[in-house]
A = this chain, B = another copy of it.
Amino acid sequence: MFETAELGRTLDKKTFAALEPQLRVRLLDVQERLRAAKVPVHVLISGVDGAGKGETVNLLAEWMDPRFISTAAFGPRTDEEAQRPFFWRFWRTLAPKGRIGLYFGSWYTEPIVERVFRDLKRCDFERRLRQIEAFERMLVEDGSLIIKLWFHLSKKAQRKRLEGLAKDKRTRWRVTAQDLKNLELYDRFAAVSEQALHVTSTGEAPWTLIDGEDARYRSVAVAEHLIETINKRLARGENQPASTSRKLVAPAAAPKVARGKKTKEVAHSAYKTILEAVDLSQTVDDDVYDDQLEGLQGRLAKTWRAAKQQRKSLIVVLEGWDAAGKGGAIRRVTAALDARDYRIIPIAAPSDEEKAQHYLWRFWRHLPPDGSVTIYDRSWYGRVLVERVEKFCSEDAWMRAYDEINEFEEQLIEDRIVVVKLWLHIDRDEQLRRFRERESIEFKSFKIGEEDYRNRGQWDAYLQAVHDMVERTSTTSAPWHLVPANDKRVARLEVLRLLCEALEKSSKD
């Protein structure tokens, strides 16, 4: 889920200087209105070390009216705090109505850190997360606004940042031995945080990921997010809490500059959505392809047999642009499998019987029994892709779906099913080229129609939908793989390789 906060978004000095004054004015304005509306706001500043949490707290304290802000940092519990239940110290410091509390640390720090160091059993960790969820819901239902910010840095960026601080005499003191030790635990920290964020990202109090690498981008993103969220809350009045429809991590909004009635998006130095970060330039030579294909198919046959003996099953979720080469990839996979072991489920419009049920019903039907493979050619992700883009279902429905899908896949994985999720990515030009090709070759022309051209018109909407899908449903146990497919053969090899790796990894569990 953190991939989308590693796109390297930055903001140049000049743009930042132009933005700062108006951000400050708008922050003071929302503060003023919050006081009048008597809404308490709790801002949680959490995330990885070195991602600018402290700087952000300081900056916000500087930008806003300090009389109506209270900041609190939560380190290890004091004696007095240790003698009371977990939430006692947070209740003590909760901002009253009309004020903003900035919590550096918060109720997430202790359970996450203790879980990373295995001082907390999985069971107790999960119980704590549930308590946190109930605690936050209670506050929100009472009228509070809770804004949860997760500052993220890639492993590489975190190392760079800590090394930078350590090198400089003036900042060396900020890098503790613990920081360096935590860096070694980066992957474990990321996995534990991901779980915490997934469970506690609710409709009442969703998490927002902040790409922490660039200080200017980060500051503007945070300020914009605060202003937007508080304004939304104020529009609802004192005792009208947020809707409780569950949604997962909201994406960090791209910073926007309001100028009169127009809103202009600030230029980014880097990619806007995660698909644009996929390198489509890769190709593969004929003989290399033949060679590797054979090798990978053999490897897949072998690893699948081993998995089957362990009574495991495999689910392949294949998504991608029209004409991205899903069918061809499936044929290369099934060529390596025994026909009795797999089923391919093509997903088109639902039948009458399926329409009379919940949208997940038709996927549950086809779950593989132990020791078999189901390949879904398109899948439940239709809910957050085509159904979202084409407005076949309400926004509430597809927002809820992220959570429902995570829950569904978690149950599959718990049941020892290996889940591999693949998005075959091509660019617009390549898609057009393939459409034209299909039209010109008679035996392929059944594959192309007006609808395909219509879908092309929604390209940008799909880019955003795929981006959100990856952010909200790519988990440690069932990550999304974005497969470059401008060269079909690159994609086929990659798909085979990913299946082999997933099966091999699972055999170690």
Contact = CB atoms under 8 A, between A and B. Distances in A.
Interface in A392-431: 397, 400, 403-404, 407, 411-412, 414-415, 417
Interface in A273-316: none
Contacts of A130: 130
A353 B84 CA distance: 22
Interface stretch (A86-94, A225-233, A323-331, A459-467): A86-94
Contacts of A94: 357-358, 361
A353 B360 CA distance: 49
Interface stretch (A61-69, A121-129, A471-479, A497-505): A121-129
Interface string A78-89: 001001111110
A86 B367 CA distance: 12
Given A85-B414, A123-B122, A370-B83, A407 B364 contact: no
B139 A358 contact: yes
Nearest to A130: B130
A367 B88 contact: yes
Nearest to A394: B239
Interface in A156-187: none
A96 B357 contact: yes
A244 interface: yes
Contacts of A403: 134
A356 B123 contact: no
Given A96-B356, A357-B94, A369 B80 contact: yes
A302 B471 CA distance: 59
A84 B358 contact: no
Given A138-B358, A142-B359, A353 B411 contact: no
A97 interface: yes
A83 B83 CA distance: 48
Nearest to A124: B123
A376 to B, nearest CB: 16
A365 interface: yes
A108 B452 CA distance: 46
Interface in A239-290: 244-246
A87 B364 contact: yes
Nearest to A401: B138
A15 interface: no
A415 B358 contact: no
The CB with the most chain B CB atoms within 10 A, among A134, A358, A407, A414, is that of A358
A131 interface: yes
Nearest to A372: B83
A66 to B, nearest CB: 19
Nearest to A416: B85
A71 B86 CA distance: 46
A175 B297 CA distance: 58
Nearest to A97: B356
A238 interface: no
A416 to B, nearest CB: 9
A225 to B, nearest CB: 24
Interface in A37-69: 38, 40
Nearest to A410: B131
Given A97-B356, A142-B359, A131 B407 contact: yes
A403 B138 CA distance: 9
Given A138-B400, A141-B400, A244-B245, 20 more contacts: A40-B357, A83-B369, A84-B367, A85-B411, A85-B415, A87-B364, A87-B411, A88-B367, A91-B360, A91-B365, A94-B357, A122-B123, A126-B126, A134-B403, A134-B407, A138-B358, A141-B397, A142-B359, A144-B358, A244-B244
24 contacts: A40-B356, A80-B369, A83-B369, A85-B414, A86-B411, A87-B364, A91-B365, A94-B357, A96-B356, A98-B356, A123-B123, A126-B126, A126-B127, A134-B403, A134-B404, A134-B407, A137-B246, A138-B404, A138-B407, A141-B245, A141-B400, A142-B359, A142-B397, A144-B358
> Ordered nearest first, which 5 A-B pairs have the shortest CB separation?
A123-B123, A96-B356, A91-B364, A85-B415, A83-B369
